[in-house]
Amino acid sequence: MFQSLMNIISLWALPAIILIILTFGLVKKVPLYEVFTSGAKEGFKVSVNIIPYLVAIMVGISMLRASGLIEALGGLLSPLLSHFNVSADLIPLMIVRPLSGSAALGIFSDIAHNSGAEAFTTKLAAVMVGSSETTFYVLAVYFGAVGISKIRYALLAGLLADVISIAAAILVCNLMF
């Protein structure tokens, strides 16, 4: 019941938003086509504007992942985390999650296939991936789009929330599964 309701909502969310925007616009006599295209013109500019910011962050993250530092950190953390039923396989996932969305998804698929779909590790990994965002990417894109270089405490706040999210995932999964 809950599941099918959720599926329906996920499927209909986008079409519903588009229908509401267009119908409301028509009722209010907005020249839809002209207004749409004049707004859409900005799309190219914004996308191109964020390239330098994306390059700076994504090259840095790509280098960090290639350097092997993440695996080394994992080795340091694993004795501590094994106390909480957290397998060493999950450590790269935790570190990569705020850095790269596609890499995190890759590691997650790996865990799901290697540990078995019903394993506690897989469930914990699923919750970790599903309940967090790619902090660095979001910061680079959003701040890049408006040309902000002094980000103040935004990164700190994002990363602290990520740490809390990991801790909460471990706690909740230990209680539920």
Find the binding residues for another protein in span 41-100 (CB under 8 A).
41-44, 46-48, 50-51, 54-69, 72, 98
With contacts defined by CB under 8 A, name the span among 76-84, 85-93, 168-176 that binds another protein: 168-176
With contacts defined by CB under 8 A, name the span among 78-86, 87-95, 140-148 that binds another protein: 140-148
Minimal distance, residue 90 CB to another protein, in Å: 14
Interface with another protein, residue 24, by CB under 8 A: yes
Interface with another protein, residue 15, by CB under 8 A: no
Give CA–CA dist 14/134, Å, rounded: 22
Minimal distance, residue 110 CB to another protein, in Å: 10
**Closest to 95 in 3D by CA, of 22, 35, 159, 174:** 159
Tokens 């990520």 correspond to 162
Tokens 């504007």 correspond to 49
Residue 53 identity: Y
Residue 145 identity: A
C-alpha atoms less than 13 angstroms from C-alpha of 2 in its C-beta half-sphere: 0
Interface with another protein, residue 126, by CB under 8 A: yes
Contact 95, 74 (CB under 8 A): yes
Contact 12, 2 (CB under 8 A): no
Alpha carbon 106 to its chain centroid, in Å, reads 13
Interface with another protein, residue 19, by CB under 8 A: no
With contacts defined by CB under 8 A, name the span among 22-30, 74-82, 83-91 that binds another protein: 22-30
Minimal distance, residue 126 CB to another protein, in Å: 5
Interface with another protein, residue 32, by CB under 8 A: yes
Minimal distance, residue 26 CB to another protein, in Å: 8
Minimal distance, residue 71 CB to another protein, in Å: 8
Alpha carbon 8 to its chain centroid, in Å, reads 23
